[in-house]
Chain A
């Protein structure tokens, strides 16, 4: 027991243009280890399994409790949050790779700003900025809160986009997270003011129509957000909006 070790294989790339190499690591097992804590140990002693000194691994992480959304990576082939990926639940050697659909920065760090950009393009916010106190907002009924709360759990990890067959450079698909946020902000009594704009935005190229309903997003979402329900609802709203726009000329 005392000598138990764990084996990791990590795909490394020192810069966006550098060739990718796999490095193997062997670490002493500890109770409750997760993928991030394992990489912290590597950082403390950056030596590969065959004794070669190397550099600490670059990756994004922050909260270590699956709430900041920064540590998404592919672990044994599947996109998930590294901080909640417990070593004891994973088949070894644990193969760790960066997300494949986002520009690589270094090692396991990728640039996921496309999600932020998409959220801006659908105005995924409640407009309350002003030069004076706007007072309290309208009441939100508990029934609406029940629908909205799960949607508000999105941590912008981009797992749903990574696993989506339609999210790629050819389609430029917006991805499930942004569609779910459109539903969230359209449901908000103050956020509603942008409802029509959001729906029109989502009918643009790369919009909600690109979804092929493979349902990978909802399987992969670490926050169990009902993404396919949201896609269905928002698709209908977009369609109705387009029909209204057409008839109103």
Chain B
């Protein structure tokens, strides 16, 4: 007598569908998202925070750093290929990943689940912040590639608004958190830390890095809003910096600045 159904007949009709073995391209897109988070986006984040740290040396040094970056060969191509497009892809695909996850933190409030959720909210903060930051600092107002000397004052005016200052501080912490846990996730998901002990140890490394980056970022913010460089002129002449290396020409930068004002 025949059985009602052959045992090898696929029995899954509703609910979560089985693996589409070997089919589709989502593996590639997902791994690209993951990789871009480290290189170039993460690498750029570190570069950006190091550059901002120059602000502690004053408006002229900061302007000189902006000028140096804009003097890189093919800088406009670099900017699009290694910064804007990767962030746009990682951000939008990140939102897509988020939409497809089904959060269950209320039932399973475990550490890893918290971090999984935090990675999504910090990513959201990052994309909103980066959107306005690039628009307002790169594409609106005085053009910094053409006037690197205006960089310090432009940021200073932005941060003079206490709401903006709050936005920058929150975003700084959120993005450093996202990047730090992102490195940890990357190592776990690419099989670099397959052991539980290795993941734990690497967790401390990532936390230390994230903390250091966030502190560096916050200290740089302080350089713009603190008393030291109050009321920086809109455009600082950068020749003053080029000469600091030469003892013969080391005219006091303050004099040059007041001359410029």
Give a binary string over B183-203; 1 marks a CB under 8 Å from any A CB, 0 the rest: 001001111111110010000
A168 touching B100 by the CB < 8 A rule? yes
Could you say which of B12, B19, B27 contacts A242, with CB atoms under 8 Å apart? B27
A169 touching B22 by the CB < 8 A rule? no
Q: Is B258 an interface residue (CB 8 A)?
A: no
B112 touching A216 by the CB < 8 A rule? yes
Q: Is A178 an interface residue (CB 8 A)?
A: yes
Q: Is B10 an interface residue (CB 8 A)?
A: yes
Q: Is A6 an interface residue (CB 8 A)?
A: no
A200 touching B22 by the CB < 8 A rule? yes
On chain B, the residues within 8 Å of A229 by CB distance are 194-196
Tell me the nearest residue of chain B to A78, going by C-beta: B107
Tell me the nearest residue of chain A to B186, going by C-beta: A213
Q: Is A167 an interface residue (CB 8 A)?
A: yes
A239 touching B31 by the CB < 8 A rule? yes
Q: Is B15 an interface residue (CB 8 A)?
A: yes
Tell me the nearest residue of chain A to B100, going by C-beta: A170
B97 touching A172 by the CB < 8 A rule? no
Q: Would A163 and B18 be within 8 Å (CB), given that A226-B196, A232-B188 are in contact? A: no
Q: Would A209 and B195 be within 8 Å (CB), given that A114-B18, A200-B22, A220-B108 are in contact? A: no
Give a binary string over B92-124; 1 marks a CB under 8 Å from any A CB, 0 the rest: 000001011111100110111101100100000
Q: Is B73 an interface residue (CB 8 A)?
A: no
Q: Is A180 an interface residue (CB 8 A)?
A: no
Tell me the nearest residue of chain B to A199, going by C-beta: B22
- Measured CA separation A114–B16 after assembly (Å): 7
Q: Is A117 an interface residue (CB 8 A)?
A: yes
Least Cβ–Cβ distance between A108 and chain B, in angstroms: 16
Could you say which of B16, B22, B101, B199 contacts A203, with CB atoms under 8 Å apart? B22
Tell me the nearest residue of chain A to B33, going by C-beta: A209
Tell me the nearest residue of chain B to A240, going by C-beta: B191
- Measured CA separation A77–B97 after assembly (Å): 25
Least Cβ–Cβ distance between A117 and chain B, in angstroms: 4
A206 touching B17 by the CB < 8 A rule? yes
Q: Is A210 an interface residue (CB 8 A)?
A: yes
- Measured CA separation A209–B25 after assembly (Å): 11
Q: Would A169 and B15 be within 8 Å (CB), given that A78-B107, A201-B22 are in contact? A: yes
Q: Is B246 an interface residue (CB 8 A)?
A: no
A232 touching B193 by the CB < 8 A rule? yes
Least Cβ–Cβ distance between A115 and chain B, in angstroms: 9
Give a binary string over A212-238; 1 marks a CB under 8 Å from any B CB, 0 the rest: 111110011000001011011111111
B contact face: mostly helix, strand, loop, or mixed: loop
Q: Is B23 an interface residue (CB 8 A)?
A: yes
Q: Is A60 an interface residue (CB 8 A)?
A: no
B22 touching A232 by the CB < 8 A rule? no
- Measured CA separation A209–B104 after assembly (Å): 20
On chain A, the residues within 8 Å of B24 by CB distance are 204-205
B113 touching A166 by the CB < 8 A rule? no
Q: Is A145 an interface residue (CB 8 A)?
A: no
- Measured CA separation A216–B103 after assembly (Å): 11
On chain A, the residues within 8 Å of B1 by CB distance are none
B21 touching A204 by the CB < 8 A rule? yes
B11 touching A168 by the CB < 8 A rule? no
Q: Is A190 an interface residue (CB 8 A)?
A: no
Least Cβ–Cβ distance between A96 and chain B, in angstroms: 14
On chain A, the residues within 8 Å of B13 by CB distance are 103
Least Cβ–Cβ distance between A106 and chain B, in angstroms: 15
Tell me the nearest residue of chain B to A226, going by C-beta: B196
A169 touching B16 by the CB < 8 A rule? yes
Could you say which of B10, B104, B189, B192 contacts A117, with CB atoms under 8 Å apart? B10
On chain B, the residues within 8 Å of A172 by CB distance are 16-20
On chain A, the residues within 8 Å of B189 by CB distance are 211, 213, 231-232, 235
- Can you list 29 contacts pairing A with B, beta carbon distance less than 8 Å? A77-B107, A102-B16, A114-B15, A114-B16, A117-B18, A118-B19, A122-B19, A166-B102, A168-B16, A169-B15, A169-B17, A170-B99, A172-B16, A172-B17, A173-B16, A174-B19, A202-B21, A205-B24, A205-B25, A213-B189, A215-B111, A216-B104, A219-B112, A228-B196, A233-B194, A234-B191, A235-B191, A236-B191, A238-B27
Q: Which residues of B are at the interface with A, using a C-beta cutoff of 8 A? A: 10-27, 30-31, 97, 99-104, 107-108, 110-113, 115-116, 119, 185, 188-196, 199
Q: Which residues of A are at the interface with B, using a C-beta cutoff of 8 A? A: 77-78, 101-103, 111, 113-114, 116-118, 121-122, 161, 163, 165-174, 178, 200-207, 209-216, 219-220, 226, 228-229, 231-239, 242
Give me the 3 closest cross-chain CB pairs, A-B, nearest first.
A236-B191, A215-B112, A205-B24
